[in-house]
Structure 1
Amino acid sequence: MPPLNIEERTPTPSPNGFALFALGFRPFFLAAGIAAVALLAGWLHSYSSGTPLSNYYGFVGWHSHEMLFGYVLAVVAGFLLTAVRNWTGIDTPSGTPLMLLFLLWAAGRITPLFSELIPAPLIALIDLAFVPALGVAAGTPLVRAKQKNNAIFLLIIALLTIANLMIHLEALDIAPTGKSGINLAVGMIVLLVAVLGGRVIPFFTERGLGNVKTHSWPWVEKSAIGTLLLLVVTEQLLPDTVAVALVAIFATLIHAFRLYGWLPLRTARTPLLWVLHIAYLWIVIGLLFKALVIFDIIPSVLALHALTVGGIGMMTLGMMARVAIGHTGREMVIGHSIAFAFALVGIAAVIRVLLPLSMMDQYPLLITLSGVAWITAFSIFVVVYLPILIRPRIDGRPG
């Protein structure tokens, strides 16, 4: 099954009109970019002042939950609603249904900020409704098309729903499952990155470089997905044990070898490619760091942010940039500003993850500098891609 049918077109003057709800990537990618800026800005203010922005989730809980179920899930929603239509040939929500789905996502971001006014169970219900609604919107075409090879996306959505429920159970003082829920959510998103990465990174690399053949081995592909699933299960059943470290080390080796086969060193002159390869390298680093955490070599927060800031952050920004220009009929090239934004997210990861290894005494400053780099990167994305996302395709086709 092809990854995303990204069409390349010669640029023509962009037509007038408003097309924000023509296809899923449009509202959700724009919202993701805005959320990436607003959520980090809010977190930096909260961190510096010591005042939580949401009493519902708590000081750290709001940041963790919103970056995963606010920013990342917006990217996932935009990607799946767009990709599923290509994979199946069956329309996903557009127009009013898409707008209602988007408003449900937005309500989940806003209501926790008014926890003094809105009952906690209602906040939980609104936020918990989005992921299953996305599952119905993206899953119905997959079921109708009987695409069993894409069933893993339905599994991931189901487990993300469970992870979100675990976080809300702690927020509602029902069960202390918040940390496990965050770990499960991160694990599912990393799994999603690995599944999609296996489909699109070698495909895009071969198309982007030309006369290049990447290497893929069936046993590596199966092991890459299998080790991540095993790692998630091990972390849930045997948290903070040597078993987690052993699985993480094996996963590190498998994913490093997988990345090697995709010829990452050949992509240095192509930003739309190197951003994906470097993002996957951060996944490898994050898996290794997970093992080091078990042996008390590094703090767990560094492993978490290697996966989230470096791996998920760079991958999502790179995919949004590529999908948006491809599905609006534009030529598959980006300007220097977006390449700079890619680099800034990588810099944010280095500051947040690697510099503390030797500068832990400057940790608060490093958090701030990393956050500023992240905010600048996504501000650039929003400014550059706003007209692309709200206007109709330049080739006059629907979507």
Structure 2
Amino acid sequence: MTVPLHRVLADEGFRIFFPLAALHAALWPFLWVAVWSFNLPFAQAVPSGLWHAHEMIFGAWGAALIGFMTTAAPEWTNSARPRGRVLWGLAVLWGVGRLAGLLGASLLLPLSALADLAWISALVCFLARISWRYRTARVLSFMGWIVALGLAGAVARWAMLVGDTGLASTALRVAGLVFLGLLGLALARITVPVTNVVLDPTEMTTPFRPHPGRLNLGSGLVALALAGELAGLSPAVTGFLWIGAGAGFMDRMAEGFVGREFFRAEIMVLMAASGFAGAGLILLGAARLGAPWGEVAPLHLALIGGLGLGVLAVLAVAGRFHTGQGLGLHWRTKLAFLLAAAAALLRALPEMGWMPWPPGPLHLLPALCWAAAFAFWLVDYWPALSDAATLIRRAG
């Protein structure tokens, strides 16, 4: 019997939301740079740059977050996973949340804001229900970070509604940094099993066992730096705090040196995600301490390189495991990793004066590399994500 596509996609969260994340990540920056030239058609009261930041954080990364949490949390806790109408309902809420940002339409801001708050609240309630029903604390750290993300998003939307661009910019910067905290947690959960499978494909042993006190070091230090930021500490103090947070991610990167298996793409992309996030935060701290560059480029290095490669790693690794394929990445996915890394470097380094500006219109080349990265992933994974046979392999 043939299973309809909508039922295949609604079997697990990653089947719907990973493609949505890839499509949004590929199309939005390309439209922003190549079609609209940094000026959205209906953006008036709210600057186009704020729309761009909001849509990357709550659009592309938001879809990846929904797919990851609705897939991984049930697996970690051995609980029932959301399926069917629940997942399609979340997809509709996420899609409605994108309406205003697509063209910068301020009239749609209230509707889009309510939709975004609805799916974030639904995620929080989902994790709280799992924690209470199954008496587990395994998802509480994610729940706390998602609550912080929702609060930052609510402040940003309110500030956009009332025209307070300064507050909106601050709230969106906080939201992006909160996502780095979520990245640290996700990498801590993913790196250990992936590395163990790479080191021992039989899965009979667990040769990779990181020190438990360092498992969430990056996320903890991001939380500390954010607390200092929100408390209004001086630029010098917050600069040192962000350097410390970056060092926490670098510590995570160092754990990838596990012998010759280090050269496996699955290991290298996880290391690169931590490395970009760490380098961006260290350079952000250096800017606060007087380095000759602004804060925008380091933030892009962390949020494009760190989050971009981190999301691609999650899409690639979870996409294979949850379709019953195991590890072993196709060349298209490996090329996607390289293109995303190139996009981050081409976007940030020229602005810092570390390399010449690439030829062509401003930021067009990094936007094309970025779009191609997520397009290659989608082309590589869509056949498995949409194939009913992978449901049987996953169940087996």
TM-score greater than 0.5 by the shorter chain: yes
1:364 Cα deviation (Å)?
A: 7.7
Structure 2 counterpart of 1:376, one-letter code: A
Pairs within 5 Å for 1:47-66: 48=37, 50-52=39-41, 54-55=43-44, 57-66=46-55
Structure 1 counterpart of 2:265, one-letter code: P
Alignment equivalent of 1:241, drawn from 229, 235, 239: 235
Against the structure 1 CA distance between its residues 43 and 207, is the aligned structure 2 distance closer, same or farther, given a 3 Å change threshold?
same
1:227 Cα deviation (Å)?
A: 1.3
Structure 2 counterpart of 1:185, one-letter code: A
Distance between the aligned counterparts of 2:383 and 2:50, measured in 1? 34
Partner of 2:194: 204
Pairs within 5 Å for 1:214-225: 214=208, 216-221=210-215, 223-225=217-219
- How many aligned residue pairs are there? 385
Higher RCO structure (Cα 8 Å, ≥6 apart): 1
Alignment equivalent of 1:177, drawn from 143, 156, 167: 167
SS state of the match for residue 133, structure 1?
helix
Alignment equivalent of 2:136, drawn from 147, 151, 163: 147
Alignment equivalent of 1:26, drawn from 2, 6, 15: 15
Partner of 2:285: 291
User: 1:130 and 2:130 equivalent?
Assistant: no
1:114 Cα deviation (Å)?
A: 6.4
Partner of 1:374: 370
Alignment equivalent of 1:279, drawn from 255, 259, 273: 273
Partner of 1:319: 314
Partner of 1:193: 183
Pairs within 5 Å for 1:159-174: 159-173=148-162
Structure 2 counterpart of 1:337, one-letter code: R
Pairs within 5 Å for 1:12-23: 17-18=4-5, 19-23=8-12
2:42/2:105 contact within 8 Å kept: no
Distance between the aligned counterparts of 1:232 and 1:264, measured in 2? 32
- TM-score where L is the length of structure 1: 0.88
Distance between the aligned counterparts of 1:383 and 1:214, measured in 2? 32
User: 1:335 and 2:330 equivalent?
Assistant: yes
1:159 Cα deviation (Å)?
A: 0.7
Higher mean displacement: 161-170 or 213-222: 213-222
Alignment equivalent of 2:57, drawn from 59, 68, 85: 68
1:283/1:311 contact within 8 Å kept: yes
- TM-score where L is the length of structure 2: 0.88
Distance between the aligned counterparts of 1:346 and 1:259, measured in 2? 15
Pairs within 5 Å for 1:354-365: 354-356=349-351, 357-359=353-355, 365=361
1:112 Cα deviation (Å)?
A: 4.0
CA distances 1:346-368 after superposition (whole Å, capped 9, x unpaired): 11111112243234666984621
1:282/1:307 contact within 8 Å kept: yes
Distance between the aligned counterparts of 2:363 and 2:318, measured in 1? 30
Partner of 1:384: 380
2:59/2:94 contact within 8 Å kept: yes
User: 1:308 and 2:319 equivalent?
Assistant: no
Structure 2 counterpart of 1:299, one-letter code: G
Structure 1's unaligned 5+ residue stretches are 1-14
Distance between the aligned counterparts of 2:32 and 2:366, measured in 1? 12
Structure 2 counterpart of 1:248, one-letter code: W
Q: Percent identity?
A: 25
Distance between the aligned counterparts of 1:182 and 1:149, measured in 2? 27
Against the structure 1 CA distance between its residues 391 and 54, is the aligned structure 2 distance closer, same or farther, given a 3 Å change threshold?
farther
SS state of the match for residue 299, structure 1?
coil
1:241 Cα deviation (Å)?
A: 1.0
RMSD over aligned Cα atoms: 2.6
1:272 Cα deviation (Å)?
A: 1.9
CA distances 1:256-276 after superposition (whole Å, capped 9, x unpaired): 233223326744531122111
Alignment equivalent of 1:256, drawn from 250, 253, 262: 250
1:214 Cα deviation (Å)?
A: 4.0
SS state of the match for residue 148, structure 1?
coil
1:22/1:398 contact within 8 Å kept: no
1:52/1:58 contact within 8 Å kept: no
1:25 Cα deviation (Å)?
A: 0.6
1:153/1:192 contact within 8 Å kept: yes
SS state of the match for residue 227, structure 1?
helix
Structure 2 counterpart of 1:330, one-letter code: Q
Partner of 1:348: 343
Distance between the aligned counterparts of 1:177 and 1:300, measured in 2? 17
1:201/1:276 contact within 8 Å kept: yes
Structure 2's unaligned 5+ residue stretches are none
Partner of 1:82: 71
Structure 1 counterpart of 2:177, one-letter code: G
Distance between the aligned counterparts of 1:98 and 1:217, measured in 2? 36
1:91/1:141 contact within 8 Å kept: no
Distance between the aligned counterparts of 2:185 and 2:233, measured in 1? 24
2:350/2:357 contact within 8 Å kept: no
Distance between the aligned counterparts of 1:197 and 1:311, measured in 2? 11
1:395 Cα deviation (Å)?
A: 5.9
Structure 2 counterpart of 1:238, one-letter code: G
